[in-house]
Chain A
Amino acid sequence: MAQIELRNVQKFFGAVQVIKDMNLTIEDGEFVVMLGQSGCGKTTTLRAIAGLETVTSGEILIDGKEVQNEKAADRDIAFVFQSFSLYPHMTVYENIAFPLRAVGMSNSERDKAVKEVAEILRIPNLLKRRPSALSGGDMQRVAIGRALVRRPKALLMDEPIGALDAKLREEMRAEIKRLHISRGSTSVYVTHDQIEAMSLADRIVIMHDGVLQQIGAPEEVYLKPANLFVAQFVGSPVMNVADVSVSGNGGDVSVVVGKADAGFAFPQSTLGNAKAGHELSLGIRPEAVLLSHDKSDGAIEVKSTNIEPLGSHDIVDVQIGSEVLRARTESGFVSGEGQTVWVNLDPTQAHFFDRASGLSLRGHE
C-alpha cells in the first residue's frame, strides 16, 4: 500500500495540453475517484501514474520516491483497463496467474495466490474458462483479480465498469466498494459517471479541460461546489443555473431570477461574498426549488412548462422570467403543463457564482 503524490504535473500531446499543472496527494489506503467528461485528462493522469504515459514535466511520487522516469513494470502498480485487456488465449486461471509467472513466483505459491483471489472475487468455478466464454461482469472480476493477485502498492482503475449494462454496473460498484473495504488498497478510479464517483469515493477529484476543479469528499463537492462546472457536473438531475440580480442591503435581499417581475427574499447571510449589483448566477438543485399549490409568503406565481415523471418523483419545469427552473416534486404533484403553481427557493441550499469566472462566492470555510 502506498501514498501517491503528483507535483506540478503537465502533459502535452503535441501542442495540446491535456494535464495542466496538476497537484494531488492520494493518501495510503484512500479510494480516490477522478471524475470528469471524456477528454478532460483524467485517464491520461491515471495512465501517467501507472507509467503507461510519460509526463511532460512535474513529478510523480509513490511513497515519497520519484517514479516519473521509471517504467510501468518498476512502479509495482496494478491497472484495470476499461476494455479489461484479458489475455484472450489464456484461461481465467492463467490470466490471474500471469503477473506472478512473469516475475517467476514458484508454482505452489502462485496456485495459492490465484485460488485465494478467485475466492474473494467469487469466481473459483470460472478458472478453467477462457475470457471469450465469460460475461462482462465476470471478465471484469477476472481483470480485478489479475490486478489484486500480486498485492500491488496501488490499484488504478480506468472506467472498469463503463462497458457493463446499468444493472450489472450497480452490482459491480457495490463489489468494488466491498473489495476496497476488505483489502484497504490505495485505489484511484476514473469515471465520467458522477453516481459511481459519489458512491465509491473517499474523495472525488473533479477535472475539466485538464484542470483540477475541486477535490473533496462526495458530500462536500455536492453541497459546496467550488464553481459552476462542479455544480452542474455533480448531482442528478443537474443543478439549475440561472442568471439573477440581487438588490437591497441588510436584513433580507431580493433575488430576481431571469428579470422576473418579483424576487425571492434571501437572508443576507446566504449570499456569501456576493454583493448586490454583481453579475451573478444562482445555482440551485431541483430539490431546493419548492412548489406548492397555495400562495405562501415570498412565493412567486409561475406556470409549469414540462413534466418528466420518473416514478419515485417528478421533475417539473417552471418558467420564471426568462429562466426555466427544474423542480423535484412528489409524483403527480403537478397534473399537467400550463398549470399555475407557486414557487419558492430554499435559501440554505442556494449557491451563488460569479458569472464571469464561474467561481463560487460562498465564503470557503
Chain B
Amino acid sequence: MSDLTIRNLFIIPTIAFLIIFNIFPLLYSLGYSFTDFRASTNAPANFVGLQNYHYLLTDPFIWRNFTITAKYVIVSVTGQVIVGFGMAMLLNRDIPLKGLITTLLLLPMMLSMAVVGLFWKLLYDPSFGIINYGLGLGKFEWLADPDVALYAVALTDIWMWSPFVMLLSLAGLSAVPKHLYEAAEIDRAGSFYTFFRITLPLVAPIVMIAIIFRTMEAFKTFDLAYILSSQPTAELIAIRLYKMAFLEWQTGMSSAFAYIVLVMVVAITNIYVKYLNKVKER
C-alpha cells in the first residue's frame, strides 16, 4: 500500500463520520430553526423565517435561563480554578505517595455525570444525607431551596471537575523551569513576589486552556443539574432546551434556541482564545 492509500484509509472514515453525524445534523437543524416543525406530529414544516429567533430573543423566561446559567458558569468555573490550582500548588513538590494521591484526586472526573448526580443527591438528602449530618444543618433543603439549589449543583460540579484544572495546572507548574526560581531567589524576590511575578504569568496560558474547557462544559451542563434539582431557579439553558425539544416537542423553536446557545459559546470561547493568544505571544 502506498503512503497515500494508508493516509486515505485513515482520513476517509473520519471525514465520513464527521459529515454524517456532525455536519449534516448541524445544517439540518439550522434549516429546522427557520420552521415551525414539530417532530411529534406528521404536519409538514412551514417556513417561518426569523420568527423563532425573534420570539426566543424577546422571551423574558429564556433570559432568566441565561442568567441562571451565567451565574452557574461563573461560580462553578471560579470554584474549580481556585480549588484545582490550589491542589496543584500543594502537589507540585516532593511529597511521599505523590503519584497515588494525584490518581485518587483524579477519580471524581472519571465518574459519569449521572452517577455523580445520583450520589450527591443522596449526600444532600435533608433527612439522612451525610452533608447535613456532618455540618449539623438539621433538615436543610439543599436541592429544594430555590436560593441554594443552583449553588448546590455548582458545588457538585466543583467537586467533580476541580481535578481537571488541577491536572492541567500541575502540568503547567512543573513546566516552569527550576532555574527561574533559583534566579528569583538570587534576585532576592520573596515567595509572594515570586508567585505573582514568575509562577502565575508562566502558568496562565495552560490554566486559561483549562478555563476555556470548563466554561464550555459548564455552559452546556445538563445531566448533573437535571438529576440533582428540579427547582426552576436551577433550570440551566440545556435543561430548558431539553424540555422545549423533547417534552414540548417544539423542534423548530428548539433548533433556533440551540443555535443561539452555539453562537454564545463560540463568542465566549473567542474572548478566551484572544486572551490566550495574547498571553502566549510572550
Residues of the A chain whose Cβ atoms lie less than 8 Å from the Cβ of B184: 98, 102
Other-chain residue from A77, A79, A81, A102 in contact with B189 (beta carbon distance below 8 A): A102
Other-chain residue from A71, A83, A132, A146 in contact with B185 (beta carbon distance below 8 A): A71
A71 to B188, CA, bound (A): 9
A50 to B198, CA, bound (A): 21
Known contacts A102-B193, A130-B282; decide if A87 and B183 are in contact (CB<8 Å): yes
Q: Please state if A73 and B202 are interface contacts (CB–CB under 8 Å).
A: no
Q: Please state if B282 and A89 are interface contacts (CB–CB under 8 Å).
A: yes
Residues of the A chain whose Cβ atoms lie less than 8 Å from the Cβ of B179: 81, 83, 85
Mark out the residues of chain A between 286 and 314 whose CB falls within 8 Å of any chain B CB in the assembled complex. Answer: none
Mark out the residues of chain B between 165 and 219 whose CB falls within 8 Å of any chain A CB in the assembled complex. Answer: 177, 179-180, 182-190, 193, 197-198, 201-202
Interface mask (A57-75 → B, CB under 8 Å = 1, otherwise 0): 0000000000000011100
Residues of the B chain whose Cβ atoms lie less than 8 Å from the Cβ of A88: 202, 282
| Chain A interface residue count, Cβ-Cβ cutoff 8 angstroms | 25
Q: Does A52 contact B (CB under 8 A)?
A: yes
A71 to B191, CA, bound (A): 13
Q: Please state if A73 and B188 are interface contacts (CB–CB under 8 Å).
A: yes
Residues of the A chain whose Cβ atoms lie less than 8 Å from the Cβ of B183: 79, 81, 85-87, 146
| Chain B interface residue count, Cβ-Cβ cutoff 8 angstroms | 18
Number of residue pairs A-B, CB distance < 8 angstroms:
61
Residues of the B chain whose Cβ atoms lie less than 8 Å from the Cβ of A72: 182, 185-186
Known contacts A81-B182, A85-B180; decide if A102 and B187 are in contact (CB<8 Å): yes
Q: Please state if B201 and A89 are interface contacts (CB–CB under 8 Å).
A: yes
Residues of the A chain whose Cβ atoms lie less than 8 Å from the Cβ of B188: 73, 76, 99, 102-103, 150
Distance between A46 CB and nearest chain B CB, rounded to angstroms: 12
Other-chain residue from B182, B190, B193, B198 in contact with A87 (beta carbon distance below 8 A): B198
Q: Which residue of the partner chain A has the closest CB to B189?
A: A102
Residues of the B chain whose Cβ atoms lie less than 8 Å from the Cβ of A87: 180, 183, 197-198
Q: Does A40 contact B (CB under 8 A)?
A: no
Distance between B172 CB and nearest chain A CB, rounded to angstroms: 13
A77 to B193, CA, bound (A): 19
Q: Is the interface of B mostly helix, strand, loop or mixed?
A: helix
Residues of the B chain whose Cβ atoms lie less than 8 Å from the Cβ of A85: 177, 179-180, 182-183
Q: Is the interface of A mostly helix, strand, loop or mixed?
A: loop
Residues of the A chain whose Cβ atoms lie less than 8 Å from the Cβ of B189: 73, 98-99, 102
Residues of the A chain whose Cβ atoms lie less than 8 Å from the Cβ of B177: 83, 85
Residue in A50, A72, A86, A150 with the greatest tally of chain B CB atoms within 10 Å:
A72
Residues of the B chain whose Cβ atoms lie less than 8 Å from the Cβ of A83: 177, 179
Interface mask (B56-73 → A, CB under 8 Å = 1, otherwise 0): 000000000000000000
A99 to B202, CA, bound (A): 18
A77 to B183, CA, bound (A): 11
A85 to B177, CA, bound (A): 9
Q: Which residue of the partner chain A has the closest CB to B188?
A: A73
Q: Does A271 contact B (CB under 8 A)?
A: no
Mark out the residues of chain A between 18 and 66 whose CB falls within 8 Å of any chain B CB in the assembled complex. Answer: 50-52
Q: Which residue of the partner chain A has the closest CB to B198?
A: A87
Mark out the residues of chain B between 93 and 152 whose CB falls within 8 Å of any chain A CB in the assembled complex. Answer: none
Other-chain residue from B186, B198, B201, B282 in contact with A73 (beta carbon distance below 8 A): B186
Other-chain residue from B180, B186, B197 in contact with A79 (beta carbon distance below 8 A): B186
Q: Please state if A89 and B186 are interface contacts (CB–CB under 8 Å).
A: no
Mark out the residues of chain A between 78 and 108 whose CB falls within 8 Å of any chain B CB in the assembled complex. Answer: 78-79, 81, 83, 85-89, 98-99, 102-103
Residues of the A chain whose Cβ atoms lie less than 8 Å from the Cβ of B190: 73, 102
Known contacts A88-B202, A102-B190, A130-B282; decide if A73 and B185 are in contact (CB<8 Å): yes
Q: Which residue of the partner chain A has the closest CB to B194?
A: A102
Residues of the B chain whose Cβ atoms lie less than 8 Å from the Cβ of A77: 186
Q: Which residue of the partner chain A has the closest CB to B187?
A: A99
Distance between A186 CB and nearest chain B CB, rounded to angstroms: 16
Residues of the B chain whose Cβ atoms lie less than 8 Å from the Cβ of A132: 282
A132 to B281, CA, bound (A): 10
A89 to B197, CA, bound (A): 9
Residue in B187, B189, B197 with the greatest tally of chain A CB atoms within 10 Å:
B187
Residue in B177, B183, B202 with the greatest tally of chain A CB atoms within 10 Å:
B183
Q: Which residue of the partner chain A has the closest CB to B193?
A: A102
Interface mask (A128-172 → B, CB under 8 Å = 1, otherwise 0): 001010000000000000100010000000000000000000000
Residues of the B chain whose Cβ atoms lie less than 8 Å from the Cβ of A78: 186
A79 to B186, CA, bound (A): 7
Other-chain residue from B187, B193, B282 in contact with A146 (beta carbon distance below 8 A): B187
Q: Please state if A52 and B185 are interface contacts (CB–CB under 8 Å).
A: yes
A83 to B184, CA, bound (A): 14
Q: Please state if A52 and B182 are interface contacts (CB–CB under 8 Å).
A: yes
Residues of the B chain whose Cβ atoms lie less than 8 Å from the Cβ of A81: 179, 182-183
A79 to B187, CA, bound (A): 9
Mark out the residues of chain B between 253 and 282 whose CB falls within 8 Å of any chain A CB in the assembled complex. Answer: 282
Q: Which residue of the partner chain B has the closest CB to A99?
A: B187
A18 to B113, CA, bound (A): 54
Distance between A333 CB and nearest chain B CB, rounded to angstroms: 49
A77 to B186, CA, bound (A): 7
A91 to B179, CA, bound (A): 18
- Contacts A73-B190, A79-B182, A132-B282 known; 4 new A-B pairs at CB < 8 A: A72-B186, A77-B186, A88-B282, A102-B189
Which B residues contact A (CB, under 8 angstroms)?
177, 179-180, 182-190, 193, 197-198, 201-202, 282
The 6 closest A-B CB pairs, nearest first, are A99-B187, A102-B189, A85-B183, A73-B188, A85-B179, A79-B186
29 contacts between A and B (CB under 8 A): A50-B186, A52-B182, A52-B185, A52-B186, A71-B185, A72-B182, A72-B185, A72-B186, A73-B185, A73-B188, A73-B189, A76-B188, A78-B186, A79-B183, A79-B186, A83-B179, A85-B182, A89-B201, A89-B202, A89-B282, A98-B184, A98-B197, A99-B188, A99-B189, A102-B188, A102-B190, A130-B282, A146-B187, A150-B187
